Copies of this chain bind each other. A is one copy, B any other.
Amino acid sequence: MDEDAFLVALQALRADRVQGASELARQGLGILAESALGMAAGDVPELCRQLRARAGQLRQARPSMSPLEHLMQCWSEGLEEVASEDDLAVARRIAAERATELVERSRQAVAGVVAVAAAAIGAGKTLLTHSLSSTVVGVLRALAGQGVRVILSESRPLNEGYRLARLLSELGVPSRLITDAQIGLAVAEADLVLVGADSLFPDGSLVNKVGTYLLALAAHDQGVPFWVCCERFKHRADPLLPQQLERMDPAELGAPALPGVQIENPYFDITPSRLISAWIDELGVRRAAP
């Protein structure tokens, strides 16, 4: 993968509104594997230097998404081993294999979260979710034959709730689609709120699609449990975000352009841990913030 192709792939990852944080992180690892095998480099030190630079750029592409940061960092640390190789071809192969292994670890971690969450939730429940989390989709798939019902929000501006509705329809899981503004009305009808995460802070606070905070407030106000499920690659070590939460193109709102009317499009909000009832990861269910 030459520099031009890398920059195209990096830009696509920045602009992606369809895939979640874990999927994008795995996509980043795929880019690194291709880079390791195919980028121009005269010797092993040059290869490692350039791969580290690419991993750094990928890591910063989506600052609200922890898995990207974690997996890029894990992979960069593995380059120590690659750097000790003399043979450039072998070094390329090892670097690519490390990326593929991390992709597999990420997939297994998500599968672990899904298994833990599905067991903890059990049969016959009505779940309310916001946005489209591939981990939550995994849980709903696991519970599809067990009488699960889902209430889901549109999730403006791009309405990824519509895609979730389509998935549930295909799975035969009965669902109800609501506007984001109707979350406060609908939460009382749910046994449980279940959302995924883009990142979890060390204190348990959650970075997720904008609107999650409002959902958590309503669930808390009405005594409905609010659970977040994500693999440990989404846990952040740093209590501070590296930069402000991402903002996307204001044109996504589809609102009229008018003099004096500003439009912004922040994509994420932060749900404080005091509003969260349980945190689920591949190791189990945690009922209290750390």
Contacts and interface: CB of A to CB of B under 8 A. Distances in A.
A176 interface: yes
Given A184-B269, A185-B269, A218-B217, A165 B211 contact: no
Given A168-B261, A210-B185, A261-B168, A180 B177 contact: no
Contact of A253 (B175, B177, B213): B177
A221 interface: yes
A172 B157 CA distance: 26
Of A156, A261, A262, most B-chain CB atoms within 10 Å? A261
The dominant DSSP class at the A interface is mixed
A176 B210 contact: no
Contacts of A214: 181, 183-184, 214, 217-218
Given A181-B210, A184-B214, A210-B181, A174 B253 contact: no
Contacts of A256: 162, 165-166
Given A162-B256, A180-B179, A185-B269, A261 B169 contact: yes
Contacts of A221: 217
Of A162, A173, A179, A263, most B-chain CB atoms within 10 Å? A179
Interface residues of A, number: 45
B261 A176 contact: yes
Contacts of A174: 260, 262
Contacts of A181: 153, 155-156, 180, 209-211, 214
A258 interface: yes
Contacts of A182: 210-211, 264, 266, 269
A172 B260 contact: yes
Contacts of A262: 174-177
A177 B260 CA distance: 10
A109 interface: no
A255 B177 contact: yes
Interface of A: 153-157, 159, 162, 165-166, 168-169, 172-185, 209-211, 213-214, 217-218, 221, 253, 255-256, 258-264, 266, 269
